[in-house]
Amino acid sequence: MSDQSNPKAAPVISMTACKSSNISHHGYDADSQTLAVQFKGGGKTYHYAGVPGDLFTQMSQAESVGKFIVEQVVGKFKHTLQTPK
């Protein structure tokens, strides 16, 4: 999967704090089907492209959001590392 930093203009995604040992915040843009995830330990934010809305809903309801992301998102969807502007 791609790991390019901002290859094109990324959508602005509202982020929500998350109760997780690995994930700080997450958000979703339905129009572009982009999942945004900010990881703890460095605070890096990644945008995952082509994530269906129902998968975001499942993630939001998961007992462990971090585990869900690792098992269902990482390595399965193209991603970009977002750099601060």
Give CA–CA dist 80/50, Å, rounded. Answer: 12
Q: Record the tokens describing residue 23, joined without a space.
A: 């994930």
Domain that holds residue 39: 3-82
The pTM for the full model equals: 0.85
For 25-46, write each residue's pLDDT tens digit: 999 999 999 999 999 988 899 9
The crossing angle, in degrees rounded to 10, of helices 65-72 and 53-61 is 140
Q: How many domains does the structure of the chain reveal?
A: 1
In which residue are the tokens 């499942």 written? Answer: 58
Banded model confidence at residue 2, pLDDT cuts 50, 70, 90? very low
- C-alpha neighbours within 13 Å on the C-beta side of residue 4: 8
